[in-house]
Amino acid sequence: MVESVQSILGGNFLGAYLQGSFAVGDFDRHSDVDWVMVIEKELSGEQVQPLQGMHERIFGLDCAWAQHLEGSYFPTDVLRRPPVRGERLWYLDNGSRQLIQSEHCNTLVVRWQLREHGITLAGPPPATLVDPVPPEALRREIYAVIHDWGGEILANPEHYNNRFYQGFIVLSYCRMLHSLHTGEVRSKRCGAEWAKANLDPAWAGLIDRAWGTRPNPEVSVHQPADPDDMASTLEFVRTIIRASVQFQIYPVVG
């Protein structure tokens, strides 16, 4: 994929990097492969078209990882500064064949992981492309996600009532609370183990069962969640929201 992107973009290509669980060394066979492509300037229509064909071809390879690639194309000036709300990047979702425009990767979380743990596939060291992310800024972003996404989940739980999202919510909220406490971003596994060690032991079973929802997300997203686990997940979200309030000293701005 990297060689193909280099061939298509030519001088517009600056670097390719792994981030996420592969970069922090805590992946397994159910992980997706999170990547970042850094480019000199925004992709033109003449570049997007062959990239779409390339991603379609890569998806069709006889390799399980080829169907679980996820990442975005970052213009270098966008990567260098904090994210702007509403600013979208060309993005390939896990399990997708085509690029779309999305805010998904345009976060401080991705910038932090790329700078601190990014694995270079091509190009200069990632720390030369990404400025340091202050812990207070990282906490502000994560605090906002805990509350904003939590409000959406609690207001419309039926939208998330499938095996994939039920487990994803539990593991994501473990990781986010861990990040608030540490000012760093680690893997979902690390967050889950931290939560089991630091939250009420009554949550341990729910957290352990969340790992069972990870295989075959393209199937589990169409399967209803266990009713008891879904109810517990909503209460877990409320619990993490309450536990995060101590970090409200980092006000959400902008």
Per residue in 120-168, pLDDT (tens digit) is: 999 999 999 999 999 999 999 999 999 999 999 999 999 999 999 999 9
User: 81 and 182: one domain?
Assistant: no
Burial tier of 154 (Cβ tally within 10 Å: 0-12, 13-18, 19+): middle
User: 168 and 141: one domain?
Assistant: yes
User: 112 and 203: one domain?
Assistant: no
Identify whether 119 is part of a domain: yes
Sheet of strand 33-39, all strands in order from the earlier edge strand to the far edge: 99-102, 89-92, 69-75, 33-39, 13-19, 119-122
User: 120 and 195: one domain?
Assistant: no
Q: Reply yes or no on whether the pLDDT at 251 is more than 70.
A: no
Q: What are phi and psi of 96, to 5 degrees?
A: -105, 155
**Structural domain count of the chain:** 2
Q: Which pair of tokens denotes residue 84?
A: 């702007």
Q: Which band of pLDDT confidence, cut at 50, 70 and 90, is reported for residue 253?
A: very low
Q: What is the pLDDT of residue 12?
A: 98
Of 128, 154, 174, the position where a domain reaches its end is: 128
Q: What is the pLDDT of residue 254?
A: 39
User: 34 and 111: one domain?
Assistant: yes
Q: What is the pLDDT of residue 230?
A: 98
Identify whether 143 is part of a domain: yes
Q: Reply yes or no on whether the pLDDT at 2 is more than 70.
A: yes
Q: What is the pLDDT of residue 128?
A: 98
Per residue in 75-96, pLDDT (tens digit) is: 999 999 999 999 999 999 999 9
User: 143 and 220: one domain?
Assistant: yes
Q: What is the pLDDT of residue 252?
A: 47
Q: Reply yes or no on whether the pLDDT at 250 is more than 70.
A: no
Per residue in 180-237, pLDDT (tens digit) is: 999 999 999 999 999 999 999 999 999 999 998 888 777 888 899 999 999 999 999 9
Of 83, 107, 128, the position where a domain reaches its end is: 128
Print the domain residue range for 150.
Answer: 135-249
CA–CA dist 20, 227 (Å, integer):
30
- Please state which of the ranges 3-17, 19-33, 90-104, 174-188 shows the lowest mean pLDDT: 19-33
Query: What is the bridge-based pairing of β-strands 33-39 and 99-102?
Result: unpaired
Of 112, 128, 144, the position where a domain reaches its end is: 128
Identify whether 204 is part of a domain: yes
Q: What is the pLDDT of residue 31?
A: 81
User: 124 and 211: one domain?
Assistant: no
User: 80 and 170: one domain?
Assistant: no
Identify whether 47 is part of a domain: yes
Q: What is the CA angle 223-160-144, rounded to 5? A: 150
Q: Which pair of tokens denotes residue 203?
A: 């949550």
Q: Which pair of tokens denotes residue 189?
A: 């596994």
User: 76 and 156: one domain?
Assistant: no
User: 83 and 31: one domain?
Assistant: yes
Identify whether 254 is part of a domain: no
User: 8 and 89: one domain?
Assistant: yes
Check if the beta carbon of residue 181 is closer than 8 Å to that of residue 195: no
| Mean pLDDT to the nearest integer, 7-30 | 91
Q: Which band of pLDDT confidence, cut at 50, 70 and 90, is reported for residue 249?
A: low
CATH number of the domain that residue 33 is part of: 3.30.460
Identify whether 196 is part of a domain: yes
Identify whether 101 is part of a domain: yes
Q: Which pair of tokens denotes residue 21?
A: 């669980």
User: 187 and 152: one domain?
Assistant: yes
- What is the reported pTM? 0.92
Identify whether 114 is part of a domain: yes
